[in-house]
Amino acid sequence: MPFHVRHLVALTLTLPFAAHADKPRKPAPPLPAAQYASHDTHAQVTIAADPGDSKDSAPHTRIDYLAHGFMPIRIIVTNDSSQPLSLDDARILFVSSNNVAENAATQDELERGTSSVKNEGRKTPIPGPLPPITHHDKPVDNQIAQDDADFGFKSSTVAPHSTAAGWLYYDIRDFGSDPLKGATIELRKVRWAATSKVLDTFEIQLVPITSTASNAKSETH
């Protein structure tokens, strides 16, 4: 799904629940993308991928996506050029070791994938041929929308000489016990905002977050 479509969906879900949202959560500020072990650079733009493959490294979201089989991966974009960068048409794919490409999960896919029997609620029959009403015990869609507002990209444009970041979630349930082994993140159709010129595809070899964090910290000292 294109970047702009995914976040229009997020905005649509967020607005009806704004009055019931809990306190916003703040992710840690990103480092420049080149300081992460998993990164690629083209034309003064560096993009990194930082997987949250453990409880400690995953973002502090309201829902434990990793426990439901969705790998959180933070995408960090550093634009060292003098012109704005557009992610409006970007495709950000998880590519497994056997070359199976997976788009980031949509809001609907996350809702279906993280709903359990407990979360699905109680069905109350009503007279006539209408379908039963479902009472949700927990507002899963509300929590997902709030997580996207707090942990997703704030904009699809990356200003010159700046870094932007956001967490995406990938369904890894069919990729075995070690889904990061041999896997990559590919970003296609990243463009310059002013000219619409497409940059070369970014191919980022993934490594576990423990290694990434150690390398990033060592480079800051």
* Ordered domains of the chain (ranges, CATH): 3-211 (2.60.40)
pLDDT at position 115, please? 82
Q: Kindly give the confidence (pLDDT) of every residue in the chain, 221 residues in length, as a single tens digit, with 9 standing for 90 and above.
A: 566 445 544 444 444 544 455 788 999 999 999 999 999 999 999 999 999 999 899 999 999 999 999 999 999 999 999 999 999 999 999 999 999 999 999 999 999 999 854 434 444 444 444 444 434 445 788 999 999 999 999 999 999 999 999 999 999 999 998 999 999 999 999 999 999 999 999 999 997 654 444 444 444 44
Longest dimension (CA), the chain: 69
CA distances from 95 to 104, 107, 183 (A): 11, 20, 6
d(CA 126, CA 10): 32
pLDDT at position 50, please? 96
Tokens 């423990």 belong to residue: 210
d(CA 93, CA 184): 8
pLDDT at position 147, please? 96
Question: DSSP character for 179?
Answer: T
Judge if pTM exceeds 0.85.
no
What one-letter code names the amino acid at 130? L
Q: Catalogue the E-assigned strands of 69-172.
A: 70-79, 85-86, 91-95, 101-103, 122-124, 133-135, 157-158, 162-171
